[in-house]
Structure 1
Amino acid sequence: MSIVLNPYSRPEEWMAEFARLLPEETVHLWPDVGEPSDVEFVIAWIMPRAALRDLPNLKAVLSLGAGAEQWQKDGMPDVPVVRLVDPAMSDEMATYALAWVLRLQRRFEVCEAQQRDGVWGDVDYTQAWKYRVGILGYGNIGARVGQAFLDLGYPVNGWSRSGGDDPNVTHYVGVDELDGFLANSDAVVNVLPSTAATTDLLDATRFEQMREGSILVNMGRGTVLVDDDLIDALDNGPLATAVLDVTDPEPTPPESAFWTHPNVILTPHVAGSTQVRSASELVAANIIRIREGEQPFPLLDRSRGY
């Protein structure tokens, strides 16, 4: 029996890691699949659904990315999909959020402008203990991001559909409490995945609830917000700045206003990347669990979209 590996980059590194971790397994590098009837596992960020359907004994798909929308399209075979929840990636995303929120909260752009103008002047800013950071999507990644801000003394709001139990966080639950979450956050950091329920969640009505001068950091999915409504909120308030690591579609189209808007900071989906060593260890551990008759985790819940 065998495994098909389809990484989006660094195939030699991935192959070497799985040879180390699963020495008794036969691993084929896509597009080579060997004998299709021998394939039991596919490890990939994305894979043609027709190719998956051609594997009659496929037991599971193990994702190499944090997102799961690519595994929920029509034509997917009815096999478990194991999501990748890698603490190393969560740490990277936490540092991305910290970097931009701190830069804007401390108003370092004012310091840069003063330097260009040859000015030595004071810079007023809101202190951390009074600057409330809201994490939109308080799951595994969101909790890690939230903890990073808590460690520096920032008060943290967390919004999710199911709630949370961290007593150090002010939790908002469900759509009915979303407006309150937005209204009580100076910075909103979005880590929500792309699902039917999150598509266009942040529209003009939601942006109107946000605090005057607030900032948005989107490192979840571009589908969560309505682009034109975001631009309007930046032009006319209440938003001061949007930091966008994700857009819909990607790459960001040349005609998008995001490229040139003075209050948009655009980065090319670099908030968190899959780490070969840590991710391969998590994936290999799940394959061993399945081989031993145990349940892999975390499994994609198709009804929820993540």
Structure 2
Amino acid sequence: MPINVYFAAGAARWPQYEAPLKAAFAEAGLDVALSNAAPDPAAVDYIVFAPNGDISDFTPFAGCKGVLNLWAGVEQIVGNQTLTQPLCRMVDPALTEGMVEWVTGHVLRHHLNTDLHVLNQDGVWRNGAVPPIARERPVTVLGLGELGRACGRALAALNFPVTGWSRTAKEVEGIRCLSGEDGLTEALAGAQIVVLLLPLTAGTENLMNAERLAALPEGAVIVNPGRGPLIDDDALLAALDAGHIGHATLDVFRTEPLPAAHPFWAHPKVTVTPHIASETRAPSASRVIAENVRRGEAGEPFLYEVDRARGY
């Protein structure tokens, strides 16, 4: 009997994922019947899902062994009371690489003050603006999950002094690791550039409020490719207008697409990028999905299973 996998991640993604998923299942030696058509729920063994996909009520899928999310973030689904099956978030090697590239690029952009020259091609020879070297520019990464650790290591390899903060204590080679409320205050106090890579939970929403923005050194830069609601938008705008925060480069927002009238678009100290810091890549993500189906069939623990109590 084939393993029945229901692709419920949205019709728009089906052409992108159909062939890579079939190839990954074959490569893993799995006999899979893959479909994006509404199936008999009782026959479904696994669901490939995205939060804006095809289903919101998981109750009929009583025999489903696992819901395999295509996104790294699960905040839009983890609280669904009908979802009692194991839920796995996506940790895609290519997604991680893409995030490292985006974060490193923008940290270097702010460190080197590249905008001063790129945005001012006006005939003025601005050779007096010389940045410090990387080891003189402290960077703090908030969030030491898969993405935060990878970005922190990449920045440390460029000689930035990197401090990482997480809600629970962690150890990452080459990174000074802090945790807890006192650790957060210390991590912010020494940061000239802050990178936000925390999951969105009740405990992290509005983490960067007026008080914590004020704890940063004057002129500090915020780089947020994590989750929009990690930042209190009004507090950030006030800190930018007051000159306490030097710049904010934002890839994620409370409402996406970011409304055209939102003040972030026109603010001279804000760079908006349209949620492009990193994308799940179908070929590599499909191999992660196939591995979790293999594990489920073999009775092995799933990769990246979500802890419902923690929310990620």
Give, in whole Å, the separation in 2 of the partners of 1:126 and 1:186. Answer: 12
Match of 2:94 among 70, 78, 88: 88
Q: Indicate the residue corresponding to 1:40 in structure 2.
A: 45
Gaps of 5+ in 1: none
| Cα deviation, residue 110, structure 1 | 1.8
Q: Indicate the residue corresponding to 2:35 in structure 1.
A: 28
Q: Indicate the residue corresponding to 1:194 in structure 2.
A: 200
The answer on 1:4 being equivalent to 2:6 is yes
Q: Deviations over 1:9-53 (max 9, x none)?
A: 442231112222224111111xx1222210111101124554422
Match of 2:177 among 167, 171, 178: 171
Is 1:5–1:27's contact at 8 Å kept on the other side of the alignment? yes
Q: Indicate the residue corresponding to 1:18 in structure 2.
A: 21
| Cα deviation, residue 116, structure 1 | 1.7
Q: Indicate the residue corresponding to 1:285 in structure 2.
A: 291
Q: Give the aligned residue type for 1:37.
A: A
| Cα deviation, residue 281, structure 1 | 0.3
Instruction: State the Cα RMSD in Å.
Output: 1.6
Q: What SS class does the counterpart of residue 115 from structure 1 fall into?
A: coil
Give, in whole Å, the separation in 2 of the partners of 1:146 and 1:50. Answer: 36
TM-score by length of 1: 0.94
TM-score by length of 2: 0.93
Is 1:71–1:81's contact at 8 Å kept on the other side of the alignment? no
Q: Which moved more, 1:1-10 or 1:276-285?
A: 1-10
The answer on 1:238 being equivalent to 2:241 is no
Give, in whole Å, the separation in 2 of the partners of 1:45 and 1:74. Answer: 13
Give, in whole Å, the separation in 2 of the partners of 1:51 and 1:283. Answer: 21
Q: What SS class does the counterpart of residue 34 from structure 2 fall into?
A: strand
| Cα deviation, residue 55, structure 1 | 1.9
Give, in whole Å, the separation in 2 of the partners of 1:120 and 1:141. Answer: 36
Q: Deviations over 1:281-303 (max 9, x none)?
A: 01100101110111112110111
| Cα deviation, residue 118, structure 1 | 3.8
- Matched pairs, number: 304
Q: Give the aligned residue type for 1:18.
A: L
Q: What SS class does the counterpart of residue 58 from structure 2 fall into?
A: helix
Q: Which moved more, 1:6-15 or 1:99-108?
A: 6-15
Q: Give the aligned residue type for 1:80.
A: P
